[in-house]
Structure 1
Amino acid sequence: MNPASGGPCQGIRNSIPALQELGVTTEVVCLDPTDAAFLGSDAFKITALGPVKTPYGYTAALKPWLEQHLGDYDYAIIHGLWLYTSYGTYRTWKQLKGAGKPVPKFFVMPHGMLDPYFQKAPERRFKALRNRVFWQLLEKHVVNGVDGVLFTCEQELLLARTTFSGYHPKAELNVGYGIQEPPQKTTIHQQAFLEQCPQAAAQPYWLFLSRVHQKKGVDLLIQAYRSHYKQNPQIPILVIAGPGMDTAYGNGLRKLAEGLPIYFPGMLQGDAKWGALYGADWFILPSHQENFGIAVVEALACHTPVAISKPVNIWREISDARAGMVFADDLEGVTSGLEHLLVMEDRLKQEYAHNARELYQTRYRVAEAAAYLKQVLQQHE
C-alpha cells in the first residue's frame, strides 16, 4: 500500500470511502512492513503482515491470518498477480472451502497485469519467461479458480484474453473505476505546487505526473519536446513529476533533458499534486501500457485536457468524448501529438477542457463506480 508504488494502491484508497458510504466495511491486508511510514495515515484499517523475505513477496504470516479471519468477510478481492498474495491467498481460500469452513466470494482484480505488453516488451524478456512459468504453475489456477475476474475497463478485459493460453475464468466482470472528487481549486494548491516547482510560476506548462518508469514513455516525451523546442523556444515548459528519478532510468532522463526547460520536482502529493493538475495547460502521458490511468482521470476532473497514447486503456472513452488528444506510443506519434497541442486554437482547447470535466462527471466518479462494484459482487452471491 505504499503510495509510491503506483495506481492500484491509489485506486483502493479512492474506492474504500465511497464503499463506506454504501455501508460496506473494507479491510486491506498487505505485505508491507509493520513499521512502514505510511501506515496509520488512512481512515480505514490496514493490516500489514510484512516484511517479505523474497522477491516473490513470501511471508509465513499470511496463511495463519487468512485461516483465522477470511471467513469473517462476504467478499475478498486479490489486487494484482505474480506475488505470493495472489496464489497464497487463493490456496488458503480453496483449502478452507474444501474443509467446509465459511469462506467469502472470491475475486481477482489484475490491474492490467494480464496485458500482453508485459510479455512482449523487449526489456522484459526474463520477466516474461518467469510469468509464463508462474502462469502455468500458479496464476492460471487463481484466475480460473476464483468466482470472477474484475476489470477496470472494457479494453483491459479484451486484452487479457490474448496473453496466455489456458485462460478460462468463470466470469469476466467490467466493474469500471473511479476517483474521488478533487478539492476545489484554491491558491493554496497553486502555492504548494510552486514551492516544489518554482519555474512554473510565470509561464504555461505541460505536465507529466506519474511513476517515472520506462513503461511510461518519458524518454519519448523528452525527445519529442526537444525537437519542438529547437524550432520554437517559446513553447510551454515541461514538468515531469513522479517517483523514480533516483533510478538509472531517471538519471538518464535528466541527461536527456539537459539544456531544455524541463523540470523534475519529484513525487507530488496532496495540495501540490492538485495545484499541478489544475494549473497545467495539458496533462501528457505517452505510456506504452496503462491499465486505466488514475492520474489521467484526476486531470480530467480538474478541467485539464489530456494528451495520451493509445496503450492507455481508456483512450477510446477520452477520444469519443473529445476530452483529449490520442497518439501512438512511438517517437513519431508523440512528436506529432505535441505538434497538435502547439497549433491548437484557444477555443478548441477550452472545449477539450470542458469536455474533460464532463467525462469525469458522467463516467469516472468514484461514488458511481463503488455502487456498481457492490452491485456486481452481490449478483454473484
Structure 2
Amino acid sequence: MKVLHVIPSVAPIQGGPSYAILAMVKALRSQGVEVEIATTNDNGPKLLQVPLNQQIEYQGVPIWFFSRFALPMKEFIFSAALTRGLWQNMQNYDLVHTHYLFSYASTCAGAIARHQKIPYIVRTIGQLSPWALAQSRTKKRLYTQLIEQRNLQQASAIHCTAPGEAEDVRKFGIYTPAITIPLGVDIPVPCPEARKVLGEKYGIAADIPVILFLSRLHYKKRPDLLLQSLSSLAKEGHSFHLCLAGAGEPDYLNYLQTLITSLDLTAQTSLTGFAADRDKEILLQGSDIFVLPSFSENFGVAVAEAMAAGLPVVITPGIQIAPDIASAQAGLVVEGEVDALAAAIAQLLNSPELRQQLGENGRRFAQSHYSWDAIAQQLAAVYTAVVQKQPLPHSLTQLRD
C-alpha cells in the first residue's frame, strides 16, 4: 500500500499541522506503510531552500517539494508546479490523505484524485469550527459552494482529531464517514537542568513561577487576553514570569510589544521567538504552567506537548481536546475572559501541589492517548479498509451514513 499525504507547507513557522504531518508520516513508515508527502517550498514570507520537483529526504521523511507562487498567498499557497506533479504521479499511489481546507494543495489533490479515481481522506484541521468559518465568511461560503463541498462529500473519509471536530463536520452538512484519531506527541527525555538554563537565559529567579505560552503569535491564539489577565494578577501582587514563545506577523508582534509596555509587564515577560528542538524542550520542561486561551483549535499540538512534559494546562473550551483534559484532571478549562483566566492562573500560582498533580495527570494521559505508534496503527487500519473497500473500523467512526 502506497499513500501520499498532501499539505500546503511543512515549514515549522506554519505551526502544529506542519509538525504533525512529519511525525505522522514517520510513525506510519515505522509501521510498514509506504508513505510520502507532496507539498510546496512555502516558509511563510520566505521559501524553504530545498530541491524542487524531485523526492528528497527532509527531516527523515520522503517529500516532494514544488515551487509555490512567487507571492505568498497566506494559507491558500497556490502552486502550478504542484498541480503538474500531482497530475503526473498520483496514479502511483493507492490512497491520498490531504490536510487543510480552503487551501490550494488539498483542493487540487482532491480534484485530481476524483478524476483519476483514487480514494482520498481529508483532514479538516478544525477549519469547519464556527469560529474558523466566521473568518473570511463570504470567501469561504463561495469556495465551499464551488469546490470544497464536493471535495468533502466525495472523500472516502474525513479525518478528525477530536469528537468536537467530527460534530462540526456533521453540522456543516457533510455526511461522509468521519474517523476520530488524535494527533500524537513525542514523550520528552527528562532534562533536569531545564529550569536553570531557562532562568539563566531570560534572567528569571529560581523562585519565580514561569508561565509558558507556546504557539503562533496570532490573534486567534489570544496572547493579548493572557497579557491582560496577567496584568490584573501583577496588580494583586502575584509573582510570575511569562515566556511568549512563537513567531508572528511583524504588525502583530509590534502590537503585543506595545501592549506589554502599556500593561507594565516588560520586566515579567520574555518574547523568546520561534522555539524548536532543544530550545523548545527547555521551555516546556523549565516552565511551571502552560496557558493557551485560543478561540479555536481542532486539537492543539502545543497543549498535548505541554501535557507530555508534565505541565498543568490552562485552556479555553474552543480547544477541542478540552473535554479530555477536564476528565483527566490535567488542567483547568475556563472561558476566554480576563477574570476567568486570571482566576485559573492564580489558583495554580498559589498551589505548587495542584500544579504537580495536574501535571502528572496530564503526563500519564499523554503517554496513554497520544502515542504516535498507536495512532499510526489506527491510521494504517483505516487506510487498509479504504483501499480494500471495507467498512471503516467501527471504534474510530463518529459519523456514518
Structure 2 counterpart of 1:23? 32
The structural deviation recorded for 1:186 is 4.4
2:357 equivalent to 1:351: yes
Structure 1 counterpart of 2:182? 176
* 1:38–1:7 Cα change, 3 Å: farther
TM-score (norm 2): 0.85
Matching residue within 276, 282, 290 for 2:283:
276
Structure 1 counterpart of 2:251? 248
Q: Deviations over 1:86-133 (max 9, x none)?
A: 221122122222xxxxx3x2111011111111233xxx3xx1110011
CA distance in 1: counterparts of 2:68 and 2:199, whole angstroms: 36
TM-score (norm 1): 0.89
2:84 equivalent to 1:52: no
The structural deviation recorded for 1:33 is 5.1
2:333 equivalent to 1:333: no
Please, which runs of 5 or more residues in structure 2 have no aligned partner? 1-9, 52-56, 388-401
* 1:367–1:192 Cα change, 3 Å: farther
2:118 equivalent to 1:111: no
Structure 1 counterpart of 2:397? none
Q: Deviations over 1:325-349 (max 9, x none)?
A: 1100122322222232233x33322
Structure 1 counterpart of 2:109? 89
CA distance in 2: counterparts of 1:71 and 1:169, whole angstroms: 27
The structural deviation recorded for 1:169 is 3.7
CA distance in 1: counterparts of 2:246 and 2:320, whole angstroms: 20
**2:294 match: secondary structure:** coil
CA distance in 2: counterparts of 1:159 and 1:200, whole angstroms: 45
Structure 2 counterpart of 1:207? 212
2:381 equivalent to 1:375: yes
Please, which runs of 5 or more residues in structure 1 have no aligned partner? 98-102
CA distance in 2: counterparts of 1:38 and 1:273, whole angstroms: 24
Q: Is the 8 A contact 2:211 2:243 kept in 1?
A: yes
CA distance in 1: counterparts of 2:294 and 2:364, whole angstroms: 24
2:148 equivalent to 1:139: yes
* 1:33–1:321 Cα change, 3 Å: closer
Structure 2 counterpart of 1:300? 307
Structure 2 counterpart of 1:315? 322
Structure 1 counterpart of 2:15? 6
Q: Deviations over 1:236-268 (max 9, x none)?
A: 111111011x52222111111122111111111
2:341 equivalent to 1:324: no
Matching residue within 44, 48, 56 for 1:36:
48
* 1:193–1:252 Cα change, 3 Å: same
CA distance in 2: counterparts of 1:119 and 1:152, whole angstroms: 18
For 1:84, the aligned partner's letter is Y
The structural deviation recorded for 1:38 is 7.1
**2:228 match: secondary structure:** helix
Runs of 4+ in 1 over 6 A off after TM superposition: none
**1:347 match: secondary structure:** helix
For 1:115, the aligned partner's letter is S
**1:30 match: secondary structure:** strand
The structural deviation recorded for 1:190 is 5.3
Q: Is the 8 A contact 2:41 2:68 kept in 1?
A: yes
CA distance in 2: counterparts of 1:369 and 1:266, whole angstroms: 31
